[in-house]
Chain A
Amino acid sequence: MKNVKLMQGNQACVEGALAAGCRFYAGYPITPSTEIAEGCAARLPQVGGRFIQMEDEIASCAAAIGASAAGVKAMTATSGPGFSLKQENLGYACLTEIPFVLVDVQRAGPSTGLPTSPSQGDVMQARWGTHGDHPVIALSPSTVEECYTLCVRAFNLSEKYRTPVIFLMDEIVGHLRESIQIPEEGSLEIVNRTMPKDLNAPAYECEPGSLIPSFAPFGHGQRYNVTGLIHAKDGFPTNSTEIAHNQVKRLMAKIDENLDDILSWEEKDTEDADVLLVCYGGTARSAYSAMEDLQKEGIKVGLFRPITIWPFPAKRLEELSRKVKKVVVAEHNNGQILLEVERVVKNNCKIDFIGKVNGTVITPDEIANVVKEG
């Protein structure tokens, strides 16, 4: 094996960000995401980037957006309590269409909760944390290697769709160390922001057939305004009902009409499964082992692991749910993805649920027992 390293999930996220071209990080350290700030502080200056520790989470989110507005790929990282604080600026970036990557290494909540314990309690906050209808892309890694590769994809999607992307990690993968094969330089696709053909064109005008504007970063000669108010194509605020309607609809459509490009998931042994596990992030690790144990006993069990949590890979799950006897959802919260699974699966099959909120990890046995309950 070439270039195999022992690496922690948080560290792999940093290396992935650098590989994607991230050259700016602003943050306020918080467990269990602190190693991302530490890693960026050490690594960014080595590649000509900048690291700033800001006074709080709100300011660090704003700083990342500001850097991106000037054309630099930017990232901030936090955990649940800080994620709450970043929501205001997250919405601002959605509406102003400024890309950046927001990492949330989830820990047990609510409030400051259990700082060092695993959780997946921010799934719905990732979807609806900031107010108003807004587009969301959230990705969830299950291995240290994926912390790297999926972080690259987070930047790519962010730049391509000009929208913030939430990298929804959890303490399980964030603090896990395992071997990772560092992809060779040039082997991963790197997406960079498009530039407008005409710098005199209105910034928020989309090319015919496109739902994504191509405005230039600040300082490149295009004149426009940036505001969190509903704005016209030049970026200045407006109360026009027509523009408001078109703007919100377009923001949603740029994600909804590109699901084939955005959605990703993993399927394991789903072909002839009687029972389908639905797990994501660190919990998928428990599911892999549960499957191994169950399959040794002759039980036909498969796994559906959403990698894009938002948008949710609904269509494929719906298809699979028609072929199985039951779906078992396991997650470290009180039933957040469960709501989405129920919405999608409806009455196609039975749904069982394991939701752990005590700060310990769902074990393979706990999953296996629920599968066997029939």
Chain B
Amino acid sequence: MSKMEIRLAGTGGQGLITGTIILAEAGIFENKFVAQSQSYGPEARGGMCKGEVIVSDEKIGFTKVTRPTFVMALSQQSFNQYCKDLAEDCFVLVDETIEVPEDYDHKNFMKLPILATAREKVGKMQTVNIVSVGAINEILKFSSYENIKKAVLMHVPKGTEELNLKALEEGAKLAK
């Protein structure tokens, strides 16, 4: 791995910004350089929302994602906006509820029941970001399970540790 540019997009409230912060934290544990940023604003409360993280072996200059190597979309609107015109090797992960047009021809593409897993298997919709992180780490293999676990525990509220670790595990299982 030399440089990964990761973008998580969805709806405000899904915790995707926290998701990118956790990935950045895990990146540091893996001795990488990281840069995490987000779209801030009114859209962060129910509208479209995105978080970005760059993970690199080298010092990072420009801190925004320009050539994504991984994009996840958890809402239709974010899929429509961020999942086209991507480089061939960019990995696209979307929730199974996303309606993908028939002519969508991006090859490096995966659909997973992320929202349903958080809602049904973990039993709490708020864990959707941690389910996502589990799946993403499994797909990208950029952090050891120990380190990603440590990163998750640093950024979830007290009393929800067990629930979130279950979410992480379910996410990882999804992508296996």
Contact residues of A with B, CB < 8 Å? 1, 4-6, 31-32, 115-116, 172, 175-179, 282, 285-292, 361, 363-365
A175 near B28: Cβ-Cβ < 8 Å: no
A176 near B61: Cβ-Cβ < 8 Å: no
Task: Tell which of B33-41, B101-109, B168-176 binds the partner.
Answer: B33-41
Do A292 and B61 form a contact, CB below 8 Å, given A177-B35, A364-B66?
A: yes
Do A364 and B61 form a contact, CB below 8 Å, given A6-B21, A6-B25, A115-B41?
A: yes
A6 near B40: Cβ-Cβ < 8 Å: no
Do A364 and B62 form a contact, CB below 8 Å, given A1-B31, A6-B36, A31-B40?
A: yes
Q: Please, which residues of chain B bring their CB within 8 A of the CB of A363?
A: 62, 64, 66
A302 nearest CB across to chain B (Å): 14
Contact with A along B41-67 (1 / 0, CB 8 A): 100000000000000000011111010
How many residues in B have their beta carbons less than 8 Å from beta carbons of A?
20
A177 near B64: Cβ-Cβ < 8 Å: no
Extra 12 A-B pairs, beta carbons < 8 Å, given A5-B28, A178-B63: A4-B28, A31-B40, A116-B41, A176-B63, A177-B37, A178-B33, A178-B36, A179-B33, A285-B61, A285-B63, A289-B62, A363-B62
Residue in B25, B28, B36, B62 whose beta carbon sits within 8 Å of that of A288 in the complex: B62
Contact residues of B with A, CB < 8 Å? 21, 24-25, 28, 31, 33-41, 60-64, 66
Q: Please, which residues of chain A bring their CB within 8 A of the CB of B40?
A: 31-32, 116, 175
B24 near A6: Cβ-Cβ < 8 Å: yes
A351 to B149, CA, bound (A): 51
Q: Please, which residues of chain B bring their CB within 8 A of the CB of A6?
A: 21, 24-25, 28, 34, 36
A277 to B31, CA, bound (A): 31
**What is the chain A residue whose CB lies nearest that of B66?**
A363
Residue in A1, A116, A179, A291 whose beta carbon sits within 8 Å of that of B34 in the complex: A179
**What is the chain B residue whose CB lies nearest that of A288?**
B61
Q: Please, which residues of chain B bring their CB within 8 A of the CB of A288?
A: 61-62
A289 near B33: Cβ-Cβ < 8 Å: no
**What is the chain B residue whose CB lies nearest that of A363?**
B66
Question: 13 A-B pairs, CB-CB below 8 angstroms?
Answer: A6-B24, A6-B28, A6-B34, A115-B41, A175-B37, A177-B21, A178-B35, A178-B63, A179-B34, A287-B61, A289-B61, A292-B61, A363-B64
**What is the chain A residue whose CB lies nearest that of B62?**
A289
Residue in B24, B33, B39, B66 whose beta carbon sits within 8 Å of that of A177 in the complex: B24
**What is the chain B residue whose CB lies nearest that of A172?**
B63
Residue in A5, A115, A286 whose beta carbon sits within 8 Å of that of B62 in the complex: A286
Q: Please, which residues of chain B bring their CB within 8 A of the CB of A286?
A: 61-62
A173 nearest CB across to chain B (Å): 9
B41 near A361: Cβ-Cβ < 8 Å: no
**What is the chain B residue whose CB lies nearest that of A287?**
B61
**What is the chain B residue whose CB lies nearest that of A364?**
B62
A292 to B37, CA, bound (A): 21
Q: Please, which residues of chain A bring their CB within 8 A of the CB of B61?
A: 285-289, 291-292, 364
Q: Please, which residues of chain A bring their CB within 8 A of the CB of B36?
A: 6, 176-178
Most buried by B among A178, A282, A289, A363: A178
Q: Please, which residues of chain A bring their CB within 8 A of the CB of B39?
A: 116
A290 to B28, CA, bound (A): 25
Q: Please, which residues of chain A bring their CB within 8 A of the CB of B38?
A: 175
Q: Please, which residues of chain B bring their CB within 8 A of the CB of A178?
A: 24, 33-36, 60, 63
A130 nearest CB across to chain B (Å): 29
Across the A-B interface, the 7 shortest Cβ-Cβ residue pairs: A288-B61, A289-B61, A289-B62, A116-B40, A116-B41, A177-B36, A178-B35
A306 to B166, CA, bound (A): 49
A282 to B28, CA, bound (A): 21
Q: Please, which residues of chain B bring their CB within 8 A of the CB of A175?
A: 37-38, 40
A295 to B156, CA, bound (A): 43
Residue in B31, B35, B41 whose beta carbon sits within 8 Å of that of A176 in the complex: B35
Do A285 and B62 form a contact, CB below 8 Å, given A6-B25, A6-B36, A176-B36?
A: yes
A291 to B59, CA, bound (A): 13
